[in-house]
Chains A and B, each alone.
Chain A
Amino acid sequence: MAENNTSLFYEFKKGLWQDIPPFRLVLGTCPTLAVTNSVINGIAMGLATLFVLLGANIIISALRKYIASQVRIAAYVVIIALLVTVADMFLAAKFPPISKSLGPYVPLIIVNCIILGRAEAFAQKNPVVPSIMDALGIGIGFTLSLATMGFIRELLGFGSVLNIKLLGEWFEPWIVMILPAGAFLVYGGLVALVNYISSRKTPGTETL
């Protein structure tokens, strides 16, 4: 039982650093670059993805014995599309401003490689409980990544965090940080940083 617990915890923990989606797996880069010009957008996008990922992993791992492997991708896409529609309508109903600022990127969660990737790589081979832990770990890791990107870009691009002015009048905002170019700069810097730290922690680790 103890061993089972540690492996469950491992499934959760790996998404937070070792397999953190945008920086180590380099999956889901499209929302990472597109919607992280503020912290709140990043967190909203991350939570929407977490919800879809959790639901998809649960349903797919529960149905894994009944989905014929020849049509599994089509079946996964139908399941994911259902969940994304729920998330999209929920955001539009409860948080219209966020839904508006995220624009088409919420419906685009359907084609987010993280979700299909976890379904294919994990949920279809594992029981429900480990799949839940996997989804939680990867989803929270993704949310934290987007929040970090959003934090850096909002701080430098607007001088604020969560719409609270942190840097005073002396600070001239770096407009580039809220433009796509800034997203690429921050993303590249963070990938390099994560790779650097992991290569220091475990010498000889293969870096991307």
Chain B
Amino acid sequence: MAFDKMELRDIEVWDGNFAAAQALRQCQIDVVAAYPITPSTPIVEGYAKFLADNYVEGEFVMVESEHAAMSGCIGAAAAGGRVATATSSQGFALMCETLYQASGMRLPIVLNVVNRALAAPLNVNGDHSDMYLGRDSGWIQFDAYCPQDAYDLNFIAFKVAEDHEVRLPAMVHQDGFMTSHTAQGVHTLTDDQGYGFVGDFKPMNDMLDFEHPVTHGVQTEEDWHFEHKARQHNDLMTKVIPKIEQAFADFEKLSGRKYNLVEKYDVDDADVVVVCMGTSVETAREVAGEMRAKGIKAGVLGIRVIRPFPFMQIAEALKGVKAIATLDRSSPNGAAGMLFNEIAGCLFNTDTKALLSGYVYGLGGRDLTKAHLVDLYNELQANVDAGKVTTPLQQFIGVRGPKLSFL
């Protein structure tokens, strides 16, 4: 090896960005093509510094836009090697065209998305608008709640994406600033452990194999397009979840840290459950504990894998719950929230009698406070007591001015 290994302490104090950068270093990426944008910039800055200090050996291509970043990643991945990048918000939006191209061409790129609001109005802070924008793009989407998750899920993302039965790109999401710029203790893997977990990259249909020329990115019209898209969806629906579960199990063996498709906190005997993502999961867990002390059987369901959506696992987890609140950190702009719709879809046609209500919160980085969640759990308990939803189906929480509610 021509590059140096790095000695890490068992626990390092890292923010989410640096945790992700360290994971990329340990996975020994062959090509990173990237463009800076707040708040994800420190990931590629970290990678650039590793390169400058001889801790990585791959190519780092600093391109002229996020669209070019993903375009370069696609060319590099089709050439045959391990590829990753990072972005946020407007950069993610600019990449959107190429996200569909990457997944349609079955290229296992890993994209770290540090979630941030979408303009207008311009805003650099964390919400889930960009994460939601990607949900039909054919990528696998993992959601990190803290720097530790941001570190661990990168290894898992490569492991799943690069599996020859999967060959689909994967995003690792973390909340802008709340995770990306908040330093916490992160349990580390050694360089050998980290690389050993993802293993050597195994090329397939690689353009640099000149004995087997391949045509990538063909034209298909009504005669074949549907079959290609249907097969991609089929693989997401049938092959990816078992591979993720296997990767979670293998990672637990390596690290002792266990991840699940959906993270259940006090859900099994709960009457009232909040379903949410990102940093809100930890806040909700803390409040749920306090509600239990007050006699309300509260729980939290965190979505760990957003695509493919763990439909059956969610239906199973929520089957005994009496009232459910979905928390969407993205403006639905004319509909119920994404989580509201997805959870409703999971529970429809089941035996559940659960009352479902939706909340929109935290846009543009607005705090979700414990007080908000206390009110929310109380509303859910009131629904249980009344035997019906006593509030509008969609409420905005934490927004100034008259209370906004719909449906």
Partners in one complex: no
